[in-house]
């Protein structure tokens, strides 16, 4: 299923008519229950040789990471609408999202140590960069204890907690998506791209990269369209993006 997850997001990423994505579960009680252990149980026995097993296991982990990172590679803002249980893999997924809302019934946990593993699909790479409280990040990763939506909010993992369950949090996420969808797609795509770049580079490097990016992006007709819409007291209408393939 995780390979299909990545394929869906890669397909979305190519669609120039998309403006924003809301990610939620169709099952009210679970955002995700975590990793399917049966899916990986046979890999460790593929060869009697430790080095050969390691090659296969490494390739498996890298493919898994690549699939979940499709959320971050998606050029459009992805809003996580978390509800119910969000365990293990859920943290890998939502830390790759741009905006995270949770229903008040949400329960989170970094569960990997409970099955004898260090989280390897994205949680340990992204959660320390998302969260404000590094001591709490480490406590949660070491203990695998459950934590509430309110604690996730205080940690900095969430933008807001929505009182209610799946319906309420998905509704709130869709409202934010509608606001984003009304903005220039060139500006929104560029903003996401530059924010991800800023996270992984120094300030001087990001400023120089942003100057090069906007040297091209500022040539768009979108600012003129937006100004004309303001003068005419109407909502701006922006052209769709072309089909996007490969890395921006």
Instruction: Enumerate the CATH 3.90.226.10 domain ranges in the chain, comma separated.
Output: 2-181
What's the half-sphere exposure (Cβ side, CA atoms, 13 Å) at 213? 19
Q: In whole angstroms, what is the distance from residue 193 CA to residue 131 CA?
A: 20
The CATH number of domain 2-181 is 3.90.226.10:
yes
pLDDT for position 126:
97
Assigned CATH class of 185-231: mainly alpha
Residue 87, classed as helix, strand or coil, is strand
Within the chain, which residue ranges are assigned CATH 1.10.12.10? 185-231
Q: Within 10 A of 82 (CB to CB), how many other CB atoms are there?
A: 34
The predicted structure's pLDDT at residue 46: 76
Tens-digit pLDDT profile for residues 144-202: 999 999 999 999 999 999 999 999 999 999 999 999 999 999 999 999 999 999 999 99
- Whole-number pLDDT of residue 40: 63
Task: List CB contacts of 147: < 8 A, sequence separation 6 or more.
Answer: 107, 108, 109, 140, 155
pLDDT at 36: 65
- Residues of the chain below pLDDT 50: none
Tokens linked to 163:
């009182």
| pTM for the full predicted model | 0.91
- Residue 103 confidence (pLDDT): 98
What's the confidence (pLDDT) of residue 42?
Answer: 67
């Amino acid at each position: 299923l995780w390979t299909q997850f990545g394929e869906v997001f890669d397909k979305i990423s190519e669609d120039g008519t998309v403006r924003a994505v809301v990610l939620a579960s169709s099952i009210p009680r679970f955002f995700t229950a975590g990793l399917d252990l049966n899916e990986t149980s046979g890999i460790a026995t593929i060869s009697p040789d430790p080095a050969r097993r390691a090659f296969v296991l490494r390739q498996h982990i890298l493919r898994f990471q690549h699939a979940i990172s499709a959320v971050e590679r998606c050029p459009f803002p992805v809003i996580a609408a978390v509800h119910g249980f969000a365990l293990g893999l859920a943290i890998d997924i939502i830390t790759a999202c741009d905006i995270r809302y949770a229903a008040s019934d949400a329960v989170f946990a970094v569960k990997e140590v409970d099955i004898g593993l260090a989280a390897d699909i994205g949680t340990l790479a992204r959660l320390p960069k998302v969260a404000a409280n590094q001591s709490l990040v480490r406590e949660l990763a070491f203990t695998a204890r459950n934590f509430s939506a309110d604690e996730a909010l205080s940690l900095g993992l969430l933008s807001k907690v929505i009182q209610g369950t799946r319906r309420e949090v998905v509704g709130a996420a869709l409202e934010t998506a509608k606001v984003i969808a009304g903005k220039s797609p060139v500006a929104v795509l560029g903003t996401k791209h530059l924010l991800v770049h800023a996270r992984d580079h120094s300030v001087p490097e990001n400023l120089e990269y942003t100057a090069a990016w906007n040297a091209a992006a500022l040539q768009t007709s979108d600012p003129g369209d937006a100004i004309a819409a303001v003068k005419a007291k109407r909502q701006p209408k922006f052209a769709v993006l072309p089909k996007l393939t490969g890395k921006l």
